[in-house]
Copies of this chain bind each other. A is one copy, B any other.
Amino acid sequence: MADDVHCAIRGVMTLRLTERRIPVRREGAPTAHPSPSIRAVPFLAAPAETNSITLTSRQREQLIQIGVRLRLPARKIIYREHAEADSVFAVMDGVVKTYRELRSGKRALNAFLLPRDLFGLAERGRYVNCAQAVTSVILYRLSISQLTLLLKHDADLQFQFLTKVTHELREAQRRAVLVTRRDAAGRLAMFIQLMAERRDRLTLREREVPLPMSRTDIADYLGLSLESVSRAAKELRRRDLVKFETPHLVRILDVAGLAEVAAM
């Protein structure tokens, strides 16, 4: 009995810690996306449709057939820059980062990939950046050659991919604009907004935004030093715009105020 209680407490504590460091299980857990799906805002005006594209069940089945489901631990390197590119990956659960190692020893983060995102950008059959799991992740690995065949055969499915890549292009442009600004607080505010928008609506309501990545990752993404991110966080807190419940969970206190700081 005493042992049970002890175990229960330890279990809870461990769970909390795990939640904080690598929050893989959220509401809408793995089972919510049992088959591959893609998130993208279409470039066409969608009359009655939602903001997102959807694959037909047949398209999902086709993807499942050429794909393999993977489960990887946090920090696992998925592929390296210049490595032979044989696969494209779809994130089912967890967070992945893609980055480049610079000569100076610094690394430039290109993107954080969340569930329903694709990654595995290649050029002439070689990956153009590295990919690493931020949290423990569940991925869907698609053979590029098989995917290419499938896309050339199914124009509708390919159109979904075209829409997705176009979406990614817009995001990359947005980030490029973001990192030109000079003030650290503004950049961090935009980053928090960005992560908040990409969350499911469920938690958006509570205004709690998980930031599973480290301060260093955020700094490398925003083109700031780690210290500047820390100071910017303090600044946003001082102005009562956000509150960091933990280093990896931020609560937005003033949505409008944060938007004001984030505006360029």
Chain A residues near B (Cβ < 8 Å): 41-46, 51, 84-85, 100, 102-104, 106, 108, 110-111, 121-126, 128-129, 144, 148, 151-156, 158-159, 161-162, 165-166, 168-170, 172-173, 175-177, 179-180, 223, 263-264
Complex CA–CA separation, A168 to B176 (angstroms): 13
- Cβ 8 A contact of A162, one of B42, B46, B103, B165: B165
Nearest-CB residue, chain B, relative to A175: B176
- Cβ 8 A contact of A172, one of B46, B156, B169, B223: B169
Number of identical protomers: 2
**Main secondary structure on chain A at its contact with chain B?**
mixed
Residues of B within 8 A of A110 (CB): 173, 176-177
Complex CA–CA separation, A179 to B181 (angstroms): 10
Contact B122 A177 (CB under 8 A): no
Complex CA–CA separation, A154 to B154 (angstroms): 10
- Cβ 8 A contact of A158, one of B123, B158, B169: B158
- Cβ 8 A contact of A153, one of B41, B121, B125, B155: B155
With known contacts A102-B264, A165-B165, A179-B223, A170–B44 Cβ distance under 8 A: no
Could you show 26 A-B contacts with beta carbons less than 8 Å apart? A43-B121, A43-B124, A44-B124, A44-B148, A45-B84, A45-B125, A46-B125, A102-B177, A102-B264, A103-B264, A104-B264, A108-B176, A108-B180, A110-B176, A121-B170, A128-B170, A129-B173, A158-B162, A162-B162, A162-B165, A165-B166, A169-B172, A172-B172, A172-B173, A176-B179, A180-B223
